[in-house]
Amino acid sequence: MKNPIATFAAATALTAFASVAGAQGYPDHAITMVVPFSAGGPTDTVTRLIAEPMSKALGAEIVVQNVTGAGGTVAAGQVANAEPDGYTVLIHHIGMSTAPTIYKDLPYSPLEDFRTIGLVTEVPMTIIGRKDLEPNTLQELIAYVKANKDTVTYANAGRGAASHLCGMLFMDAIDTQVTTVPYQGTGPALTDLVGGQVDFMCDQTTNTTGQIKAGAVKAYAVTTPERLASLPDLPTTGEAGLDMQVGIWHGLYVPAGTSDEIVAKLTVALQAALRDQNVIDRFAELGTTPVAQDRATPEALTATLTAQTALWKPLIEAAGAAAD
């Protein structure tokens, strides 16, 4: 009769060996990087910029997959339930930290059901309006919104999206609520803003800089303490007398249970991508920069996610912005 303890020990050893062997051979086929928002949006833009140099560093193709819905929670849930083999990677922004408060029945825990790879970038945001909107300055926009609060419209990319959070802070800062128009992603929201179907929005420079420079939208302010080199004429919210600052960070995640060896390989590949000159140059054109190498680490992303979850929870609860 077989010794059950010996059998269990042997099975455990084989599993561990298979895990190490799999990690040593990783990657041997294409990796899917899941984007929680629509193609053409700011998170999608960031993803596609880092995907190519990460592919080169890993020696395997990275396929970008857009999975939209519920402020990024559909995509995050998909990755949380994927095999922890390193072949399904999630990129997400600040919405990873706000989802537990916004969605009361969230089917995963951002801090427990994922392993972190590292931060990618920290992106400023801009307040913009349709190009024929009457106000020309942020002060004038605030006055206009207050005077027309029953008719003015604010576009966002859906509950939990960066534009939703920024709009929530803006309305709280000016103590005025307006009609919000949610879209399935920043791409369609910005398209309607450019087309004049909605009045204003606030979103990441990675998606708005080109439209601002082209004159397709009217820019009012950047939500950072200092002006941006890419948009030097655009004042900060502080310069306009508005007490509101917000930035959007992006990070990479894999399912919990992914091995240390695979996490390390992905982190090294991310760091290599953030040193790539094309990535640096394109990020600069979009009004952002790659994070420093010591922030493109699992530890830095875990610390950011933990701190931001604690920061946003009382703000969202006070605003009554939960989905259920």
CATH code for position 153: 3.40.190.10
Please report, for the domain that includes residue 65, its CATH number: 3.40.190.150
Give domain status of residue 235, yes or no. no
Give domain status of residue 210, yes or no. yes
Q: pLDDT (tens digit, 0 to 9) for every residue of the chain, 324 residues total?
A: 445 455 544 444 444 444 444 577 999 999 999 999 889 888 899 999 999 999 999 999 999 999 998 889 999 999 999 999 999 999 999 999 999 999 988 999 999 999 999 999 988 899 999 999 999 999 999 999 999 999 999 999 887 778 888 998 899 899 999 999 999 888 899 999 999 999 999 998 888 999 999 999 999 999 988 899 889 999 999 999 998 988 889 999 999 999 999 999 999 999 999 999 999 999 998 888 899 999 999 999 999 999 999 988 988 887 777 765
Give domain status of residue 190, yes or no. yes
Q: Do 173 and 111 share a domain, yes or no?
A: no
User: What is the tally of structural domains in the chain?
Assistant: 2
Q: Do 117 and 75 share a domain, yes or no?
A: yes
Q: Do 113 and 152 share a domain, yes or no?
A: no
Q: Do 103 and 12 share a domain, yes or no?
A: yes
Q: State how far Cα 265 lies from the chain centre.
A: 22
What does pTM read for this prediction? Answer: 0.78
Q: Which domain holds residue 218?
A: 125-222
Give domain status of residue 231, yes or no. no
Q: Do 176 and 188 share a domain, yes or no?
A: yes
Q: Do 87 and 187 share a domain, yes or no?
A: no
Give domain status of residue 230, yes or no. no
Give domain status of residue 60, yes or no. yes
Give domain status of residue 207, yes or no. yes
Task: Judge whether 197 and 183 are in contact, CB under 8 Å.
Answer: no
Residue/partner pairs of 131-134 with CB below 8 Å, 24 or more apart: 131/194, 131/196, 131/215, 131/216, 131/217, 131/218, 132/196, 132/218, 133/199, 133/200, 133/218
Give domain status of residue 199, yes or no. yes
Q: Which two tokens stand for residue 206?
A: 């990675």
Q: Do 153 and 287 share a domain, yes or no?
A: no
Q: Do 10 and 106 share a domain, yes or no?
A: yes
